[in-house]
Amino acid sequence: MAAIEKRSRHEWQELDKEHHLHPFTNHKELHKKRSRIITRADGVYIYDIDGNRFLDGMSGLWCVNAGYGRDELVDAATQQMHELPYYNNFFQCSHPPAIELAAALEEISQPQFRRVFFAGSGSESNDTIVRMVRTYWDLLGQPQRHTIISRKNAYHGSTVAAASLSGMKPMHRQSGLPIPGIVHVEQPYWFGSDRSMSPGKFGVAAARSIEDKINEIGSDKVAAFIGEPIQGAGGVIIPPASYWPEVQRICDEYGILLISDEVITGFGRLGEWFGADYFGIRPDFMPFAKGVTSGYLPLGGVFISDRVADVLIDKGGEFFHGYTYSGHPAACAVALANVRLLQREGLIERVRDDIGPYLQKGWQSLAEHPLVGEARMTGLMGALELVRSKQPVERFDEKQGAGTICRDALIDNGLVLRAVGDTIICAPPFTLTHEEADELIGIAWKCLDLTQQALDA
């Protein structure tokens, strides 16, 4: 019955090398080493084909929030696929999983959100937003309000529009991005600055770079601002507390739409349903994906505030946009089961009151290591900054590859974390136990030692 052949590691590595191009991968380097073949997972652990076990400190790609091996999510998909594996939401049709999920999402979101539009991924969700934002201003008779402000080093996805919203230079260089009408301002990365300002002052200054950009372009030309509550792929940049209130003030003052990209922070990662709840902001749009299904099936979508949705519905006629898999029934059924699971098990409260604070305390203890210039974590989303010297702070030369050395040591010792330059990042499943948190911190400390030794050698 199984469609997947059983083969040896070597056979799969060869087939992979011959036939499979991977996302965000240098294939020459990959082909020298071959792929790690992951075959199963349970709880917070993944296993490779040789039976090696790894604690997954990244929840896959920030998505397996409920942990692996959740029968209720599998059953939801199975049942739905027997009943109605696919039908679309075009042409005046709808189906129960999409309807029920949309209604459930209304319950858990801020009051301005009553409606969602479904997509297949976070990137698609952000593409949807670019089109909705511009359509909204067109319908209000302000077509010149076209420009969307984003931030350097942001990550909003990899389709053409989402990669344009992203602020990553290597992505832009490869394909002539960003598309017109998308500009980037400073990120609130205090440790990455010269640290001459207090974090509080720095947070306000970073927010004011949005205001400066608005004044430079002309406030009548700015449509929206987009930001991740905490920048994820950019290196878990936790903004100073002063940042988001000032961003909200600026968006309010100039009447521009605020987009909170909740693809990572949504569905509980910060101990609240959404990052916007955690930081006390009131966005007009919230794209989501990843954690909505705990990654068990692909699904994305956009929360649309009444301010926007009412205009699109009342004045817009047909909105010429949608995806074949907008509101895929099996994905929606899994998402609904996942929301109910988070509620029933109180996993978001657990992130806020129990495992969040517990892991944060252990994570902070890593700051005592001579290699760590800063340890930061909010909810279950954290970063370590590797430094050559703590006082004064001196970073390593990029060529030394300190982050990569550390990341490889971590994997060799059974812990998956990621390196963004010399920043080591962490985002484990919400089901992490205290013992597993201790294991994570223990391996991390040991690998900081190993990294130190490798760099000294």
Ligand X SMILES: *Cc1c(COP(=O)(O)O)cnc(C)c1O
Q: Of the two residues 204 and 416, which places its CB atom closer to ligand X in the complex?
A: 416
Smallest gap from Cβ 143 to ligand X, in A, equals: 27
Smallest gap from Cβ 222 to ligand X, in A, equals: 21
Q: Residue 222 — φ and ψ, nearest 5°? A: -95, 125
> What is the SS3 assignment for 227?
strand
Q: Of the two residues 291 and 362, which places its CB atom closer to ligand X in the complex?
A: 291
Q: Of the two residues 263 and 406, which places its CB atom closer to ligand X in the complex?
A: 263
Q: Of the two residues 285 and 396, which places its CB atom closer to ligand X in the complex?
A: 285
Smallest gap from Cβ 21 to ligand X, in A, equals: 16
Smallest gap from Cβ 439 to ligand X, in A, equals: 26
Closest CA to 220 of 144, 152, 163, 158: 144
d(CA 300, CA 161): 16
Smallest gap from Cβ 267 to ligand X, in A, equals: 12
Smallest gap from Cβ 219 to ligand X, in A, equals: 26
Q: Of the two residues 156 and 407, which places its CB atom closer to ligand X in the complex?
A: 156
Q: Of the two residues 156 and 184, which places its CB atom closer to ligand X in the complex?
A: 156
Smallest gap from Cβ 60 to ligand X, in A, equals: 11
* Cα distance between the two ends of the chain: 53
Closest CA to 352 of 380, 384, 375: 380
Q: Of the two residues 66 and 154, which places its CB atom closer to ligand X in the complex?
A: 154
Rg, C-alpha atoms of the chain: 22
Calculate helix-pair angle for 306-315, 122-139, nearest 10 degrees. 60
Residue positions counted in the chain = 457
Residues 170, 153 contacting (CB under 8 angstroms): no
Q: Of the two residues 185 and 233, which places its CB atom closer to ligand X in the complex?
A: 233
d(CA 133, CA 254): 15
Smallest gap from Cβ 176 to ligand X, in A, equals: 20
Q: Of the two residues 157 and 428, which places its CB atom closer to ligand X in the complex?
A: 157
d(CA 34, CA 17): 7
Closest CA to 82 of 425, 330, 265: 330
For the record, the structure tokens of 356 come out as 């969040």
- Beta strand extents in 295-339 (DSSP E only): 300-305
Smallest gap from Cβ 125 to ligand X, in A, equals: 7
CA 310 from centre of chain: 28
State how beta strands 38-42 and 45-48 pair.
antiparallel
Smallest gap from Cβ 387 to ligand X, in A, equals: 26
Q: Of the two residues 157 and 362, which places its CB atom closer to ligand X in the complex?
A: 157
Q: Which residues bind ligand X (CB under 6 A)?
A: 121-123, 155-157, 228, 232-233, 261, 263-264, 289, 300
DSSP letters, 150-219, are: EETT----SSHHHHHHS--HHHHHHHTPSPTTEEEE----STTS---S-HHHHHHHHHHHHHHHHHHH-G
Report which residue's Cβ sits closest to ligand X: 122
Residues 258, 224 contacting (CB under 8 angstroms): yes
Smallest gap from Cβ 363 to ligand X, in A, equals: 20
d(CA 82, CA 60): 27
Q: Of the two residues 56 and 261, which places its CB atom closer to ligand X in the complex?
A: 261
d(CA 301, CA 335): 11
State how beta strands 300-305 and 285-288 pair.
antiparallel
